[in-house]
Structure 1
Amino acid sequence: MAASRTATSSQSADDEVFDFDLNAVEAESELRPFRFMWASKQNPNRRLTMQHLEGLNVWPLMVAADGGDASAMVGVFQTALGDDQFEEFRKTPLPQFKMKALFDAYRKHCGTQSGESQASSGS
């Protein structure tokens, strides 16, 4: 019978062996932001900036994905734009065809293909 290991503390000593150092992991490509224009009544030249898809916090994306594809897409926009920009973005009506075009351009910028999982490395 194999012995199971149980953690005795949430803190471990600095000299203990570990299997993987997540702190040392770096992006394989430059995580350059994606910028686009979307006019509002107040600003016909309004520019918005989205963080690169691979640099987004995965936790809110996973929660949004539980609601289906449209919810996942909105979750990506909200996380990538940040709360302040997302609220401004939502104030201007957005036709579905433009949302799809924006998402496609964003994925292309980030190097992901249609049908590819957001968690995929692209390799």
Structure 2
Amino acid sequence: MTTRTATSTRADDEVFDFNLNAVEAESGLKPFVFLWASKENGNRRFTMQHMQSLDVWPLMAAADGGDAAAMAGIFRQALGKEQWAEFRETPLPQYKLTALFAAYRKHSGASEGESAASSDS
């Protein structure tokens, strides 16, 4: 029995099977903005990147920790370091987090149970 490895034997100028560089988003990837009161600002606005634009590598690493870690990973990536730190300063009941995540998923066109790292195929 012989074993084949997945090494590339094609020259750079040969035909390829798929051009990932040419893939474009299906939508405009509009950011998601929500209000969450802090002690300093009763109408603090937070802006999250569209779910489909998030870097999948940190999301997949967070998903190894289960559903709660995956959700936190999505929020951490979508908000960015500064807003994530500010967001975490105010206590957040679980029912509000669940509602926020549902609205963010809907805004991003993700169906129930679909993670940011999943594909539509």
Instruction: Provide the TM-score with structure 1 as the length reference.
Output: 0.86
Measure how far apart 1:120 and its partner are. 2.9
Q: How many residues align?
A: 119
% same residue:
66
Measure how far apart 1:19 and its partner are. 1.8
Q: 2:109 matched to 1:111?
A: yes
Separation in structure 2 between the aligned mates of residue 66 and residue 120 of structure 1, nearest angstrom: 18
| Map of 1:42 onto structure 2 | 40
> 3-state SS of the aligned residue for 1:70?
helix
Q: Unaligned stretches of 5+ in structure 2?
A: none
2:7 maps to a residue whose letter is T
Instruction: Provide the TM-score with structure 2 as the length reference.
Output: 0.87
Separation in structure 2 between the aligned mates of residue 3 and residue 71 of structure 1, nearest angstrom: 38
Measure how far apart 1:31 and its partner are. 0.4
| Map of 2:119 onto structure 1 | 120
Separation in structure 2 between the aligned mates of residue 111 and residue 86 of structure 1, nearest angstrom: 22
> 3-state SS of the aligned residue for 1:115?
coil
Measure how far apart 1:17 and its partner are. 2.7
Q: Looking at both structures, which has the greater relative contact order when contacts are Cα pairs under 8 Å and sequence separation is at least 6?
A: 2
Separation in structure 2 between the aligned mates of residue 77 and residue 104 of structure 1, nearest angstrom: 12
Q: State the superposition RMSD in angstroms.
A: 2.2
Measure how far apart 1:73 and its partner are. 0.4
Separation in structure 2 between the aligned mates of residue 72 and residue 115 of structure 1, nearest angstrom: 11
Q: Indicate how the Cα distance of structure 1 residues 2 and 71 shifts in structure 2: closer, same or farther if over 3 A, else same.
A: same
| Map of 2:58 onto structure 1 | 60
2:95 maps to a residue whose letter is F
Structure 1 residue runs of 4 or more that deviate by more than 6 Å after TM superposition: none
